[in-house]
Amino acid sequence: MAKVRTEDIIKQFDLELISGEEGIHKPITTSDISRPALELAGFFNYYPAERVQLLGRTEIVFSEGLAQHERKERMEMLCNDTTPAIVVSRGLEIPDELIEASERNSVPLMRTNMKTTRFSSKLTNYLDGKLAPTTAVHGVLVDIYGIGVLITGQSGVGKSETALALIKRGHQLVADDCVEIRQIEENLLVGSPPDLLEQLLEIRGLGIINVMTLFGAGAVRPSKKITLTVHMETWDENKHYDRVGLDEETIKIIDTEITKLTVPVRPGRNLAVIIEVAAMNFRLKRMGVNAAQQFTERLAQVIQGGEDGIV
């Protein structure tokens, strides 16, 4: 099913529908927007008909200078069967030939009072978000000191309980149980909750709680950029866990690599504090402060000093 249809942008930007109402259910498949200047001049060899066509003052004034038969022909060619919509900006007067062609070919023709560049920017951002590659992950997304931490693990390992403890420590819940992830652009993942689960947290034995009602509006946020993944797993005595922190593991979500930490779970470990410190340490590493690397350098100096003393 189409993620965005022409009727969606009409509602989103409060556009005035001029003609072509039969086509408002057409799907919009790309966030790219076309300003058909060359097309109005008669060059249709590479006409990107699948894009939303945006006409500003330049295009409208140019079309007014065409002979009537040329204007009628080119407006007809603009209203391709594939074209999802044509938008005229600045509240400009629309040529009758364009209105007739859009009605005849069921291509929605709309008008906005916004300036051309501003509307183009806002529409592109809207379509980028709606048409971005999307996936869903079983886990919890929490904002910890500005770091979007995706907590994953097997069902029942304690993800939601850990999130509750983090919320009590002043951090913000984004999503529990199911995290919808969109790749807005290259190496940028944004997580949000499904509408059904927004602001809700499930705690076994307690049931479903509304985090905003219990802890206030500051305890939740609607979306967050994901920069760190913490995988919780039951402690395995036969498995080696990193004790220094030099090795950095990553996980691929859609087309983006995200840093991944594996935290073993067993009684007595304060996981909320561990994950909170992991987020702070991750932020320090991005600022160029790497405690594990500093420890390794000190150790190397001590070893080198001992060898020099022996010699």
Predicted local confidence at residue 168, as pLDDT:
95
CATH number for 151: 3.40.50.300
100 and 156 fall within a common domain:
no
Residue 303 lies in a domain: no
125 and 139 fall within a common domain:
no
Angle at Cα 111 formed by Cα 106 and Cα 117, nearest 5°? Answer: 120
138 and 127 fall within a common domain:
no
Predicted local confidence at residue 246, as pLDDT:
65
Residue 231 lies in a domain: yes
Q: Which residues of the chain have pLDDT under 70?
A: 1-2, 241-246, 292, 306-311
144 and 279 fall within a common domain:
yes
Predicted local confidence at residue 311, as pLDDT:
44
Q: Is 156 annotated as a binding residue?
A: yes
Predicted local confidence at residue 243, as pLDDT:
67
Predicted local confidence at residue 77, as pLDDT:
95
Predicted local confidence at residue 296, as pLDDT:
74
110 and 159 fall within a common domain:
no
Q: Is 23 annotated as a binding residue?
A: no
Q: Is 174 annotated as a binding residue?
A: no
177 and 206 fall within a common domain:
yes
Q: What is the pTM of this model?
A: 0.74
CATH number for 51: 3.40.1390.20
Catalytic positions, written as ranges = 138, 159, 177, 243
105 and 149 fall within a common domain:
no
- Give the residue numbers spanning the domain of 44: 6-131
Q: Side by side, which strands form the sheet with 134-138?
A: 134-138, 178-185, 188-192, 224-225
Upper half-sphere CA count for residue 271 (Cβ side, 13 Å):
26
63 sits in which H/E element = helix 57-64
185 and 106 fall within a common domain:
no
Q: Is 202 annotated as a binding residue?
A: yes
Residue 73 lies in a domain: yes
102 and 208 fall within a common domain:
no
